[in-house]
Structure 1
């Protein structure tokens, strides 16, 4: 279960990739970058969600 602490950072990497993709689509004509920014926003949300619950589970196991 130790690898679950590090998988939350994958969401940050995904968010960075989609923000970069969205910025490049902004500079091109005829492209819509909003889906890329939406996926980046969801990835950032998932990072904080996973971080919160991993801390919650760590605190739970420390009490036992």
Structure 2
């Protein structure tokens, strides 16, 4: 179960990928709103999951 400690970092990787996709779409003149929304959602999920994993870890001690 040690891998569950690092799962929330996947959301940061996804946020970087979606932000990169949004930047590329903006340079091509396409609509990039959805990519930036997904990037913001992934950042939110990172902090949300990290907060609750720390909370569960502190409660189990």
User: TM-score of the superposition, structure 1-length normalised?
Assistant: 0.92
Residue 13 of structure 1, CA deviation: 0.2
RMSD between superposed Cα atoms in Å? 0.6
| C-alpha distance in 1 between matches for 2:52 and 2:31 | 34
- Separation (CA, whole Å) in 2 of partners of 1:51 and 1:16: 17
Which consecutive unaligned segments of at least 5 residues does structure 2 have? Answer: none
Hey, what's the Cα distance between the residues in 2 that align with 1:36 and 1:25? Answer: 9
Instruction: Determine the C-alpha separation between the residues in 1 that align with 2:27 and 2:41.
Output: 23
Partner residue, 2:11: 11
TM-score normalised according to structure 2 size: 0.96
The aligned length equals 61
In structure 1, the partner of 2:53 is 54
- Gapped regions of structure 1 (runs ≥ 5): none
Q: Deviating runs (4+, > 6 A) in structure 1? A: none
Higher-Rg member (1/2) = 1
